Amino acid sequence: MRYTLRVWRQRGPEESGGLVDYDVDGISPDMSFLEMLDVLNERLVLDGEEPVAFDHDCREGICGMCGLMIDGVAHGPERATTTCQLHMRHFDPAEPIVVEPWRAAPFPVVRDLMVDRSALDRIVEAGGYISAPAGAAPDAHAVPIPKADADAAFTAAACIGCGACVAACPNGSPMLFTAAKATHLGLLPQGQPERLSRAEDMLTAQDDLGFGGCTQTGECTLVCPKGIPLETIATLNHDVLTAALRGR
Amino acid sequence: MSCSDYTNYSEGEPIADTRAPDGPLETRWERRRFAARLVNPANRRKLTVIVVGTGLAGGSAAATLGELGYNVLSFCYQDSPRRAHSIAAQGGINAAKNYAGDGDSVHRLFHDTVKGGDFRSRESNVHRLAQVSTQIIDQCVAQGVPFAREYGGLLDTRSFGGAQVSRTFYARGQTGQQLLLGAYQALSRQIHAGTVRMHPRTEMLDLVVDDGRARGVVVRDLVSGEVSTHLADAVVLATGGYGNVFHLSTNAKGCNTTAIWRAHKKGALFANPCYTQIHPTCIPVSGEHQSKLTLMSESLRNDGRVWVPERAGDPRAPRDIPEQERDYYLERLYPGFGNLVPRDIASRAAKTVCDAGRGVGPGGLGVYLDFAEAIERLGRDTVSARYGNLFEMYQRITDEDPYEVPMRIYPAVHYTMGGLWVDYDLRSTIPGLFVIGEANFSDHGANRLGASALMQGLADGYFVLPAVIGDYLADGPFGPVPPTAVEDAEDEVRQGIAALLAVDGDRTAESFHRELGRLMWELCGMERSEEGLRKALEQIPQLRGEFWRRVKVTGAGGQLNQELEKAGRVADFLELAELMCLDALHRTESCGGHFRVESQTAEGDARRDDDAFSYVAAWEHTGGAPVLHREHLEFTAVRPSVRSYK
């Protein structure tokens, strides 16, 4: 099959970019979207052109490194799917495919389709952990955790940090990302001592980094490859409010 | 670029681990920890440690060294330390907790691991690993890792290949992800505290050795292209395995051998490079475009049944083949362990039935992994709770629904047991260079048991390295490194980059990688023969020569350049591949993942030769023919026997 791509090309963060049209031939329906870009890139290299830069690594939907805006949708048209797990069988060769990077002020474009998402790391560094130095832990069975709580914590913990939520949000808010971490740790007994400070510190960091605020539009959860539920945001808000009421 | 003579090698002095104490195995670790010198807390911040790689081993090591107060510099090539490939481990992590009350113990885990490794690992290291395993689970739970739990709130476990007890802790099919996020969060806490300085999107390209000690790394900033040097009192490599030498593997695209290979070229011995693990349950290749292979967790073999049609070339759909015309060959051949035989055995059995023309799917390179019986026995909901995410992943890739039709699976390269040689303190043969996790060779012998990679990575990072690195650092700080040593190392790296750009040929790095991978899979994969390996040793240098004549790398060095990154990694694979084949050729026995066709039993099982090969093969780089140093393996607690899983 043959596809027409409109790919965002931009040499660096300070330079302006634009969409460039490419035709790619020899695409099979079993190829992943990134394998289709591999085909394009090998051809570009042989033609002496610089290939399209994009982030990717595990190619099995778990590392969170890949992420493209495909026809205006983060990670493309399939629900609960990362870009690397999206296959060409879902695309109509008659329609051009528009491929762009994540767009949000705190995610500057590095080159072409690559963006700098290190702001997400800063949010976690601000408090997205349980302080438990190695060697100090009690026996793992010391505190039983109800299965329902453990399962709910897991659902939130499944976030892969890809940043699709930010890219999809009209406000450029990472609230789903932050809330997933706050909920994962806040639902577990081990996470209680730092629960309120964690929520507050991460939220403050998120604001300081220039992300937008959350207005509960819900676009984030729709594009989330791991289906992190919107309720996590309510949990985070609850913790932040409780912290405020307690006059922390 | 070097032109080595790898059809030959010479014998060097034997090598030995001098750091493990003598005496009872059970107390060695305790005695070593006590004997290891400590560094007082006020002095630790004056000591700098570089940790390269942020997977389970590197992430946990950097975090823990930071907690101890050392000044840590951490590096990874990904855009965030959270993305290292440990994240993709699915099934679980072993620990001798005996929470299932089914007869597990530290000794049993030790025993299973030595046996699973086909008696090619070092007893003292493996015993320590089994001992430390229980602490890992405690540590991870304290960090908030959401392991699967029973309704009573206690931790759930399951069985994995090569074990008859249920000792594998898991977090759905995303155990590696959850453990890595635990380590990443601990690391983030230290970054925030200022004890760890993180350098993402940075690739190590060489080791700085001065006055016989590892003193730093030369790195390339993958965004700006700038080459620079970071100095330290010790360097820890936690850069993972080299399975991508096969091009197609379950590794992430970026996984590479560059860090350990360049350390090898600077003097670190490389041990057992031919020990490769081929994982039995991966999604088969679908076409030429394939860029990587996706693993389906071994845990699926708890409930899935492996079979092929009785008759070669049976064209019927799987559901149309009646029960009596199916061959559940693992259950038939290995009734004791059934579908849960170790990986090397399951992989080779799959190859054998496919070679006999009974394989299924495109090209006949696949076997069925069938859940029909499990769905009937347990109900769809239970099966979905256990494996739902894996089923979804399978369906997304193949467009087939495993609830309705059996999965098709085929073996794929997954893990490399070989790596840089280390002693009991995880020191390589270069003083000050420590190697942890998959990057070293130490614990898995010739075959790794499922759910043991996560265990080893975290054991090394959270508990072993932090307990023994002080013994080395107690002699530091080691003073300034002369600027000439730094300049020399940087010049070498810059010349290497310039050489890649200068070729300006007509083939992509990817095309060479693909060709190397096909060659290695065919000649140094699941089955190896003298004839095949000799052929490989002829072809690899030719391919390498062609690479340096014809590779095309666009762009420049001083910019973000993914083609340049790839070309550098392929260049190193092209050198490593030769050492792997030489090692495989010299080891004329079969053991674990290394199967020499000349050395098999009448039933086609691997035949070890303990008299001739009960040693670790540690190779020294010379630029010419490599030198073999043997570390003799002593077994005092487990008697080497023929591995039987019948």
**pLDDT class for B3, splitting at 50, 70, 90?**
very low
C-alpha distance from B347 to closest chain A C-alpha (Å): 21
Average pLDDT over residues B56-76: 98
Radius of gyration of chain B from Cα atoms?
A: 24
How confident is the model over B5-28, as a mean pLDDT? 92
Decide if B184 contacts B61 (C-beta within 8 A).
no
Q: With CB atoms and an 8 Å threshold, state whether A125 touches B223.
A: no
Q: 């979207």: which residue's tokens?
A: A33
pLDDT, position B5: 59
Nearest partner of B276 among B614, B487, B581, judged by Cα = B581
Strands B168-169 and B157-158 turn out to be: antiparallel
What mean pLDDT is predicted for residues B264-270?
98
Residue from A124, A151, A190, A202 whose CB has the most chain B CBs within 10 Å, to mutate: A124
Chain A interface disruption, residue of B33, B56, B79, B168, most A CBs within 10 A: B79
Q: What CATH number is associated with residue B294?
A: 3.90.700.10
Mean per-residue pLDDT, B192-215 = 98
Domain boundaries, chain A: 3-111, 117-245
Give the position of tokens 């937008």. A212
Q: How many CA atoms lie within 13 A of A236 on its CB side?
A: 28
**Closest partner residue to A30 among B81, B83, B286, by Cβ?**
B286
Residue B478 tokens, joined: 């080691």
Average pLDDT of B48-61? 98
| Shortest CA distance from B55: residue in chain A | A63
How far off is chain A from B432, nearest CA to CA, in Å?
Answer: 23
Nearest to B151 by CA among A93, A240, A147: A147
Is residue A178 a contact partner of residue A156, using CB atoms and an 8 Å limit? no
Residues sharing a CB contact under 8 Å with residue A79, sequence separation 6 or more, in sequence order: A222
Q: Which of B83, B137, B148 sits opposite A57 (nearest CB)?
A: B83
Range of the domain at B308: 279-414
Tell me how many helices (H) and strands (E) chain B has.
18, 21
CB contact under 8 A, B555 and A116: no
CA B294 – CA A63 distance, rounded (Å): 13
Beta strands in B505-603 (DSSP E): none
Largest CA distance in chain B: 74
The three-state secondary structure class of B576 is: helix
Q: Write down which residue in B414, B449, B465 finishes a domain.
A: B414
Residue B394 CA: distances (Å) to CA of B77, B177, B321, B369, B405: 28, 18, 22, 12, 11
Q: pLDDT digit string (tens) for B444-464?
A: 999 999 999 999 999 999 999
Peptide bond into B477 cis (omega under 30): yes
Contacts of A113 in chain B (CB under 8 A): none
| B279 token code pair | 């994982």
What b-and-e string marks burial along B194-222, b requiring 16 or more CB atoms within 10 Å of the CB?
Answer: ebbbbbbbbbbbbbbbbeebbbbbbbbeb
Q: Which of the residue ranges B17-21, B188-192, B359-363 would you say has the lowest mean pLDDT? A: B359-363
CATH topology of domain A117-245: Fumarate Reductase Iron-sulfur Protein; Chain B, domain 2 (1.10.1060)
| Among A164, A66, A40, A90, residue whose Cα is nearest residue B396 | A90
Within 10 angstroms of residue B151's Cβ, the number of other Cβ atoms is 9
Name B424's Cβ contacts closer than 8 Å, sequence gap at least 6. B17, B19, B20, B28, B32, B122, B124, B125, B128, B468
* pLDDT value for B605: 84
Q: How many residues does chain B have?
A: 646
A3-111: CATH topology: Ubiquitin-like (UB roll) (3.10.20)
Question: Nearest C-alpha of chain A: how many angstroms from B187?
Answer: 8
How close, in Å, is residue A110 to chain B by CA atoms? 7
Cβ atoms of residues B371 and B304 within 8 Å = yes
Cβ–Cβ below 8 Å for B143 and A146 = no
Backbone angles phi, psi at B205, to 5 degrees: -115, -15
* A57/B142 CB distance under 8 A: no
Structure token digits, residue B595: 């199967």
B233 DSSP assignment: S
Q: Count chain A–chain B contacts defined by CB atoms under 8 A.
A: 218
**Which one from B82, B343, B608, B643 is the annotated catalytic residue?**
B343
Tell me the mean pLDDT in the region A34-56.
97
C-alpha distance from residue B254 to each of A56, B296, B409, B508 (Å): 8, 20, 24, 16
**Which one of B138, B146, B563 has the shortest CB-CB distance to A154?**
B146
pLDDT in tens, B119-129: 999 999 999 99
Scanning the structure block, which residue is given the tokens 């476990």?
Answer: B157
- DSSP for B413-436, written as a single string: EEEE--EE---TT-B-SSTTEEE-
B112 inside domain? no
Instruction: Supply the DSSP symbol for B551.
Output: B
Cβ-proximal residues to B360 (8 Å cutoff; 6+ apart), any chain: B308, B309, B318, B366, B367, B368, B408
Cα gap B140→A159, rounded to integer Å? 18
Q: Which residues face B626 on adjacent strands?
A: none
CB B283 within 8 A of CB B296: yes
Q: Which of B387, B414, B441 is the last residue before a domain boundary? A: B414
Nearest to B80 among A121, A154, A190 (CB): A121
Residues pairing with B627 in the sheet = B10, B620
**Does residue B515 sit within a domain?**
yes
B518 counts as catalytic:
no
| Whole-number Å distance between alpha carbons of B137 and B93 | 9
Q: Do A62 and B87 touch (CB under 8 A)?
A: yes
Q: Does the pLDDT of residue B428 top 70, yes or no?
A: yes
User: Exposed/middle/buried for B68, CB within 10 Å: 0-12, 13-18, 19+?
Assistant: buried
Residue B391 and residue B297 in one domain: yes
Kindly tell me the burial class for residue A134, based on how many C-beta atoms sit within 10 Å of its own C-beta (0-12, 13-18, 19 or more). Answer: buried
SS (H, E, C) A145-186: CCHHHHHHHHHHHCCCCCCHHHHHCCCCCCHHHHHHHHHHHH
- pLDDT of residue B637 exceeding 70, the answer is yes
For B138, which of A49, A89, A137 is closest by C-beta distance?
Answer: A137
Q: How far apart are CA A103 and CA A166, in angstroms?
A: 8
Measured CA distances, A90 to A33, A76, A87, A95, B56 (Å): 10, 10, 6, 12, 35
B289 by DSSP, 3-state: which?
coil
CA dist B232 and B73 (Å) reads: 9
Cα separations in angstroms, B266 against A234, B188, B430: 55, 32, 8
Task: Give SS3 for B20.
Answer: coil
Rounded distance between C-alpha atoms, residue B389 and residue B235, angstroms: 38
> What pLDDT shows up at residue B342?
86
If DSSP codes are grouped into helix, strand and coil, which group holds residue B81? Answer: helix
pLDDT in tens, B139-182: 999 999 999 999 999 999 988 877 889 999 999 889 999 999 99
Q: Count of domains in chain B?
A: 2
Q: What are the residue ranges of helices labelled H in B123-174?
A: 123-143
Q: What 3 state SS string does chain A have?
A: CCEEEEEEECCCCCCCCEEEEEEECCCCCCCEHHHHHHHHHHHHHHCCCCCCCCCCCCCCCCCCCCCCEECCEECCCCCCCCHHHCEHHHCCCCCCEEEECCCCCCCCEEECCEECCHHHHHHHHCCCCCCCCCCCCCCCCCCCCCHHHHHHHHHHHCCCCCCHHHHHCCCCCCHHHHHHHHHHHHCCHHHCCCHHHHHHHHHHHHHHCCCCCCCCCCHHHHHCCCCCCCHHHHHHHHHHHHHHHCCC
In one letter, which amino acid is A108? P
Residue A6 has pLDDT above 50, yes or no: yes
Average pLDDT over residues B526-549: 97
Cα torsion A77, A79, A84, A89: sign: negative
Chain A residue closest in CA terms to B192: A125
Per the DSSP assignment, residues forming a β-bridge with B51 are B74, B236
CATH code for the domain in which residue B609 is found: 1.20.58.100
Is the predicted pLDDT of residue A153 greater than 80, yes or no? yes
B315 to chain A, closest Cα gap in Å: 22
**Between the CA atoms of B392, B398, B402 and B403, what dihedral angle is there, to the nearest 10 degrees?**
70
Give the mean model confidence (pLDDT) for residues B92-101: 96
**Percentage of residues in chain A having pLDDT higher than 70:** 100
* B461 assigned to some structural domain: no
**Taking all residues of chain B, what is their mean pLDDT, rounded to a whole number?**
95
| Residue B555: count of CB within 10 angstroms of its CB | 18
What are B305's two structure tokens? 């049944």
pLDDT digits (tens, 9 = 90+) for B569-578: 999 999 999 9
Q: Is the pLDDT of residue B2 over 80?
A: no
Q: Indicate the burial class of B314 (C-beta count within 10 angstroms; 0-12, 13-18, 19 or more).
A: middle
Q: Are the beta carbons of B588 and B518 closer than 8 angstroms?
A: no
d(CA B420, CA B15): 13
Q: In this predicted structure, what is the pLDDT of residue B385?
A: 85
